Homo-oligomer: A and B are copies of this chain.
Amino acid sequence: MTRVLTRDVIEQALSGIDLLPLMEAGFAAYSEGRCNIPPVGELMLEKGEVHIKYGCITGGRYYVVKVASGFYGNPALGLASSNGLMLVFDQATGALETVLLDEGMLTDVRTAVAGAVAARYLAPRHVEHIGVIGTGMQARLQLQYLMPIVACRKLIACGRTPQHLEAYRRDMEALGFDVQTTDDPAVVGARCQLIVTTTPATAPLLLSEHIRPGTHISAFGSDTPHKQELASGVLARASRIVVDSLAQCRLRGEVHQALKAGVITEERIEEIGDLVLGRRPARTDDDGITVFDSTGLAVQDVQIATAVTQAAVTA
């Protein structure tokens, strides 16, 4: 019998789950070739875009189908721009075990946890300021999941809309951060050693000349062939370029843009799963520029949906 879990039940189940090792195990399984993940499905509509990510860890108990949407006119209607659900099926029979009516929340969370994984392996030792570009839900969650990983509590928040920036400042101060705000990405580049970008920008916000040695940048906004937050020169200059999935980042995200521009080659690109596995080193120096490009991988959905399904079973 299919169970349908609503958002409040999912939030409660989530509170008891240690997500960082789960996400690391997912990235590791992916980079070991133990995942069955077909290409992302995409439906482009007049007012929004829909992504379907699906797959499984081979031999695992479940496969997961996730539908996530971004309708960027929604906030003007008083609705969240992102929405969606996850479906958990039995790999042995195809039976639909659980419908997770998370309204996109699990996608937001698993994305933010990937930011913590990237920071764990790639953040410089000395972070005087964390910088965040974007003031939405993802900008909030990134900080929440970074807190156990990075000791720094000084934040420079960058956004275009003063009211959103002010609301973000208040929320991050409530989390325990000392917050300065700016509308200029160059300020973030000049003063921050750990930068997280979380916007749906379609033209670069951070340019190569903004960035100083000894910086790590995690880019989460671009998950399509069209969106872009980092100028390709940032990737060209980076000493390490790490992605969630090379296969996926060829086709979408910042790496896709830089490959298309011809300023980087595929040989330079590493997968975060290989860092988790120890096949590749974590950050080895204090002055390199490192980039993590996240396009969002189905194995992240598999990991979080499986954990919530099982936690809710034992509840």
Residues of chain A touching chain B, judged by Cβ–Cβ distance below 8 Å, are: 2, 4, 36, 38, 41-48, 50, 52, 54-56, 58-59, 63, 65, 67, 69-71, 74, 77, 79, 82-85, 87, 89, 91-96, 99, 101, 103
Residues of B within 8 A of A94 (CB): 48, 50, 69-71, 74, 82-84
Offer 27 A-B interface pairs, CB within 8 angstroms, sorted by A.
A4-B4, A4-B99, A36-B44, A36-B45, A38-B42, A41-B52, A43-B55, A43-B56, A43-B63, A45-B56, A46-B58, A47-B92, A47-B93, A48-B94, A50-B63, A52-B52, A65-B67, A67-B89, A69-B94, A71-B94, A74-B93, A83-B93, A83-B95, A84-B94, A85-B87, A96-B101, A96-B103
Q: How far is the CB of A53 from chain B (nearest CB, A)?
A: 10
Q: Which of B45, B65, B87, B103 is close to A91, meaning CB atoms less than 8 Å apart? A: B45
User: When A79-B95, A99-B99 are in contact, do A67 and B87 touch as well, CB less than 8 Å?
Assistant: yes
User: When A83-B96, A101-B2 are in contact, do A91 and B56 touch as well, CB less than 8 Å?
Assistant: no
Q: How far is the CB of A167 from chain B (nearest CB, A)?
A: 22
A4 CA / B52 CA spacing, docked (Å): 20
Residues of B within 8 A of A65 (CB): 50, 52, 67
Tell me the nearest residue of chain B to A298, going by C-beta.
B43
Q: How far is the CB of A215 from chain B (nearest CB, A)?
A: 35
A89 CA / B101 CA spacing, docked (Å): 13
A20 CA / B265 CA spacing, docked (Å): 54
Tell me the nearest residue of chain B to A42, going by C-beta.
B38
A43 CA / B93 CA spacing, docked (Å): 14
Contact of B48 with A38 in the complex, beta carbons under 8 Å: no
A38 CA / B45 CA spacing, docked (Å): 11
Contact of B93 with A77 in the complex, beta carbons under 8 Å: yes
Q: How far is the CB of A131 from chain B (nearest CB, A)?
A: 30
Q: Please provide the 10 A-B residue pairs with the shortest distance between their CB atoms, ordered closest to farther.
A: A69-B94, A71-B94, A83-B94, A41-B41, A48-B94, A4-B4, A65-B67, A71-B93, A2-B101, A74-B93
Contact of B54 with A43 in the complex, beta carbons under 8 Å: yes
